Amino acid sequence: MDADAKSLDRPAGDGDHPAAPLAGVRIVAVEQYGAGPFGTMYLADMGADVIKIEDPGTGGDVSRYIPPGRSGSDSLFFEAFNRNKRSLALDLKSPAGREVLERLLAGADAVFSNLRGDQAERLGLTYATLGAINPAIVCVALSGYGARGESAHWPGYDALIQAESGWASLTGAPDGPPTKSGLSLADYIAGLTAALALMVGIFDARRTGRGRDVETNLYDSALAMLSYPATWLLTLGFVTERRALSAHPSVVPFQFFATADGHIAVATPKEKFFRTLVEAIDLADVLIDERFRDFEARNRHRDVLLEILGRRFAERPTRTWVDLLRGRVPIAPVRSLAEAADPDELRARSMLAEYDHPSFGQVRTIGLPVTMGEFAPTYRPGPALNADGAAILADIGYDTEATERLRVEGAFGVPDGGRGGAFEPG
């Protein structure tokens, strides 16, 4: 390991602020599309130096080309996953590209890969290879189905994972088809799981001086989210079924209800909430009905109770019910994306990320959902493809002559190598 590697300068930004919780942490991310970049973006927001390695032969991360909101090799889809990072275009299959990677990793805390299960080992991104370069390196691999067995060769995407893990079978109307969530939740959960595992690995490596391999995958992360329905099934043989209006399988009422002009969500996971609800909406007689005396009774007679509640909620508009019950009973309006993402509301919650972008002007998106004392994130655009190549190469000791040698040897790609071709180092 290079004796000076750990003292390499970090880029200007949040990571240099003493209050940034991950100041001084360097993560080299061989990542693409959604799951991995989502997790590492949160680490970048909190001050980590996340260096995104992009394949010059394919024009970088494919998410750069996803519409709508695309301009050249920038897109708003890419922005949603890659703010606050740096980009280096590098051909990891070329010896010269590998040389750069290994020098970069000598001063890094972790290498993070978000590839097909068999690719991390094939590209030499495991501890067996990299531990000799940096004994404290943490090698995190996030894949679709894991690194072993036949499934290691399978590509993993959110819709496939939601289908195979059982999520889709639990979602949707009881008489409708299995349904995927409207969001890529399997991707996001796996990305956050990988980010957590990465930071645990770094904590341990700083404690012991020794890194390790850390693996997770979309499929196992999705299985873990099955939580209590899986516990019920595996322990009792109880099969959770889809119910109308997104109803909870056993707590009643805990679901959506139609109102005079929309829908509301109501939850009564405590007896006091149920009592307060029926009294507040003038259905006090329900309290003396033995069919509804406790959780189990209400579950057995859910159809009768839900018909009573449904008729009452349909009499008045959503705003009336929310104003009447909020703060007394768990209730929320069912809102559209446009209503939930209202900029003024987001700004008031410190959840609006705003920054200027050279192609898109002002970008507004959802910010970091973590509050930490004495630290507030600064949001910067996702990097242009290879925007930080020259600075990163200089940072790890390559002068102009050495950089030219690397270019000639194909470290940054070769002409006509794909959508991107060769890249200049800066």
Q: Model confidence over 390-421: pLDDT tens digits? A: 999 999 999 999 999 999 999 999 744 444 45
145 token code pair: 């189905």
Distance CA 45, CA 383 (A): 14
Q: Which amino acid, one-letter code, is at 368?
A: L
Share of the chain above pLDDT 90, in %: 90
Number of residues in the chain? 426
Q: Which amino acid, one-letter code, is at 192?
A: L
pLDDT for position 366:
97
| Phi–psi pair at 41, nearest 5 degrees | -60, -40
Helix (H) or strand (E) holding 288: none
Mean pLDDT of 199-211: 98
**For residue 154, pLDDT beyond 80:** yes
Distance CA 309, CA 369 (A): 35
Distance CA 83, CA 74 (A): 12
The set of residues, in sequence order, having a beta carbon less than 8 Å from that of 406 and lying 6+ positions away, is: 96, 97, 99, 100, 393, 398, 412, 425
Q: How many other CB atoms are found less than 10 A from the CB of residue 338?
A: 7
Is residue 47 a contact partner of residue 23, using CB atoms and an 8 Å limit? yes
Query: In the CATH scheme, what architecture does the domain 5-224+352-408 have?
Result: 3-Layer(aba) Sandwich (3.40)
The CATH class for the domain spanning 244-258+263-333 reads alpha beta
Integer angstrom CA distances of residue 42 from 37, 232, 343: 9, 33, 21
Domain locations in the chain as residue ranges: 5-224+352-408, 244-258+263-333
Helix (H) or strand (E) holding 43: helix 35-45
Is residue 105 a contact partner of residue 134, using CB atoms and an 8 Å limit? yes
DSSP-assigned states of every residue in 272-287: HHHHHHHHHTT-GGGG
**For residue 136, pLDDT beyond 60:** yes
Q: What is the pTM of this model?
A: 0.91
pLDDT for position 424:
64
pLDDT in tens, 63-85: 999 999 999 999 999 999 999 99
Supply the DSSP symbol for 156: -
Confidence of residue 16 (pLDDT cuts 50, 70, 90): low
Q: Which amino acid, one-letter code, is at 130?
A: L
Distance CA 180, CA 163 (A): 7
Rounded to 10°, the helix 400-408/95-105 angle is 140
Mean pLDDT of 191-208: 98
Average pLDDT value over all residues in the chain: 93
pLDDT for position 5:
35
**For residue 19, pLDDT beyond 90:** no
Please give the residue that has the higher pLDDT: either 194 or 155: 194
The set of residues, in sequence order, having a beta carbon less than 8 Å from that of 230 and lying 6+ positions away, is: 223
Q: How many CA atoms lie within 13 A of 270 on its CB side?
A: 6
Query: What three-state secondary structure class fits 110?
Result: strand
